[in-house]
Amino acid sequence: MYYVAKRFGRTETRLQEFSKEPEAVSFIMEKLQEDKLYKLDAVYCLYEGADIVQEYSQSDVVAPAESSGAESDTAASGKGSDKSFRPSPFSTTPRIGPQTWIVGDDKDQKDDDEKKS
C-alpha cells in the first residue's frame, strides 16, 4: 500500500492512498504541475507503508509538449505574462472646471487685442 504526503514548510499532510506505485507517481506529477502554476515549492513524498520510497520536487517535473508550445506562441505574439504593469506618468484624474492654462491663453489674447488697437 502506497500513500502520498505533501510537505510544505514544516508541515506534512497525507493526501491519498494508492495500491500501485505508477498511479501514485502520476498523481504526484499532476500535483507538481498544479503547484508550478501557483509557484509553490512543495515536496511530495511517496511512502510504502512507513518507509519513504522517494521524494519529488519541482526539479522532477517534466514539462508537457502542449504547454511549452502554447508558451512559445504567446511569447512570439508579444502577449506574454513577462510584462509588468507600468502606470502612466501623466495625470489621469478628471478635472472639474476651467483649467489654469485656458485662462492664461485668454489673457494673452486680450493683451494682443489691446496692443493692436
pLDDT digits (tens, 9 = 90+) for 81-97: 557 777 777 777 777 77
Please provide the size of the chain in residues: 117
Q: Does the pLDDT of residue 2 top 70, yes or no?
A: yes
Quick count: other Cβ atoms within 10 Å of Cβ 117?
4
Contact indicator for 26, 9 with CB cutoff of 8 Å: no
Q: Please give the pLDDT value at position 104.
A: 53
